[in-house]
Chains A and B, each alone.
Chain A
Amino acid sequence: MTVKSSAPLEKIDDYRWRIPMSYKQGMRVPGLVYADERLLQTLRGDQAVEQVANVAFLPGIVGYSLAMPDIHWGYGFPIGGVAAMRPEDGVVSPGGVGFDINCGVRLIRSDLTVEEVQPHIRDLIDLLYRNIPPGAGASGRVRPIGVELDDVLAQGARWAVEHGYGTAEDLDCAEENGCLAGADPSQVSPRAKSRGLPQLGTLGSGNHFLEVQAVEAVFDPAVAETMGISGPGQVVIMAHCGSRGLGHQVCQDTLKVMEQAAKRYGIELPDRQLAGAPIGSPEGQAYLGAMHAAANFAWCNRQLITHWVRQSFGQVLGRPVEELGMALVYDVCHNIAKMEEHLVDGVPKSLCVHRKGATRAFPPGHPQVPERYRAIGQPVIIPGDMGRYSYLLVGTPGALEQTWGSTCHGAGRTQSRTAAMKSLKGVDIAARLAQRGITVKAQSASMLAEEASEAYKDVAEVVEVVERAGLSRRVARLRPVGVIKG
């Protein structure tokens, strides 16, 4: 049943490939895929490239339908897709954000060394797993009562900080300061709220994770130091999760509305999942209000997780949390659509930038980069797979010039979950990771197989391409020491 793409990819240079508008009637702009020859091979087997061409059908799209090097087959948009729309005649598409609204990553530094933490790693992972429960059947430790959920949706991470779960400094170190303006809790359905409420403070399942990591290599010591990264052996913590059931339900609720809206506004698209509505229309505005509220839920969630990470470290190590230096490095969202200022043909314009599995990567000097990082650029956090490594990057002028200030978001899958489970049948993934010094705790063994290194591209290759294409620069490589999988 799988339809392979026959989309032509015209080579521009070693890292850029164009899909001409002539490929499909209805494309409003060409496609542009960032990849090298090796990564391109991994795209041949699925429909990701076809989806890049499909996104080019969306009204109001400016420049290119863009794809980052970790692009893989999604639904509607490819995962790794970026598209910017003009507010006057463009659409906002829930398919360009995804179900997991504001799925993102945050990185917490520490003054601890891996030698100090290693002897306690099993206890630490067990306690973290209890304090930050994963997915199905689990409830979070924080439950806002009644109307308080609307405050969470309006205030994002600030709600958590104001309730004692974090510091004011944490808010400085998050994209949009952990709260998108324009959130409208009244546009979030009661169903979305009831689905999300018990899940506040939980990690989620699938590719979501919490990792205790050690810095393995530093590529730019000066920039790393500004981010609080001192050198190899330093312990950091990475959390990857999103808006849980609340965000999923907001997207599900909206798709039904958008399908009808697309028909009403005469928007013809090659995939139903791409359905969108004009940005200024009542449907478009309602979605933006609900989606931003869901994004704020995700930021609040990651802030609560940060609190429990700090508490768990303090408890297991028997030391006051304040002594551990556990400051937030940064928090990025990689499933989002929001209004941003960009230069179009040299003129500043407000655009609705969709990033579906892509990370904002603003350069040094950009007003949206927090003051403490203004001189070096925005930190970009790129998780790899649980058996190898993750990266800390920094934004560059090249990203702002080429990709609306965007870069990759992770490794990208090469193998389906079912294929990974089949090929790893009988392999004890936890034991294999233990041999390499990685302690892992997961809800089930099959979940570990689905998320094994074999199922992913090597994130080092992805990161190399974004660096060579000028979309961001490597700062440090981080290796997993302890892993929690939902």
Chain B
Amino acid sequence: MTRPRSYGFQILEHTADVGLIARGHTLAEAFAAAAYGLSALMADLSQARPRTVREIEVAAGDLEGLLVAWLSELLYLFDAEGFLALEFDITSMSGQSLRAVVAGDAFDPERHRPGMAVKAITYHQVQVQQSDGYRAQVYLDV
């Protein structure tokens, strides 16, 4: 499992919404960092502990589409099932598909103060690039 402290992400300014830039030595690390960034935007993670595990599999036509599909899946699990994703073990990854085992907590507004309510993951200026490791950029609709 990739531990939270190694996740590198930063917030991108957008007038109405919010963007994320995530970095990693490998593509999988960058995708894990983006996923952690999404959770960190949606809730205060300081009291969150990985208690349950989900297996995730997504596919798309290209890497950018895969990034959107991956984050959309995690957003769906948060919104529909209250699963707050915290640790990401990406077990296999190609340009068009991704499998992961994700550990997370049951979202509880009392323990994990809600942050931004993310509605969806957009394709607006979505980028996945190799530059000094990997860099993934995505905008979220809030």
Contacts and interface: CB of A to CB of B under 8 A. Distances in A.
Interface of A: 1-2, 45-46, 48, 72-76, 79, 98-100, 135-138, 191, 194-195, 204-206, 245, 248-249, 251-252, 255-256, 259-260, 271-273, 275, 413-419, 443-444, 446, 450, 486
Interface string B101-124: 000000111000111110111111
Interface stretch (B16-24, B29-37, B45-53, B89-97): B16-24
Contact of A252 (B72, B107, B113): B72
A82 to B, nearest CB: 17
A72 B15 contact: yes
A73 B14 contact: yes
Contacts of A73: 14-16
Contact of B119 (A100, A418, A450): A100
Pick from A259, A413, A417 the residue with the most CB of B within 10 Å.
Answer: A417
Nearest to B116: A417
B123 A417 contact: no
Nearest to B12: A1
B65 A259 contact: yes
Contacts of B87: none
B88 interface: no
Interface residues of B, number: 42
Given A271-B125, A272-B64, A273-B124, A99 B119 contact: yes
A204 B17 CA distance: 15
A322 to B, nearest CB: 35
Point out which of B64, B76, B121 has the most chain A C-beta atoms below 10 A from its C-beta: B76
Interface in B111-142: 113-117, 119-126, 137, 139, 141-142
B124 A76 contact: yes
Given A72-B15, A73-B16, A1 B82 contact: no
B15 A413 contact: yes
A99 B120 contact: yes
A206 B117 contact: yes
Given A100-B141, A417-B142, A486-B117, 20 more contacts: A1-B12, A48-B15, A73-B15, A75-B123, A75-B124, A76-B124, A100-B119, A135-B114, A135-B117, A137-B107, A137-B114, A195-B76, A204-B117, A205-B114, A206-B117, A206-B119, A271-B123, A414-B15, A444-B113, A444-B114
- The CB with the most chain A CB atoms within 10 A, among B12, B68, B123, is that of B123
B15 A256 contact: no
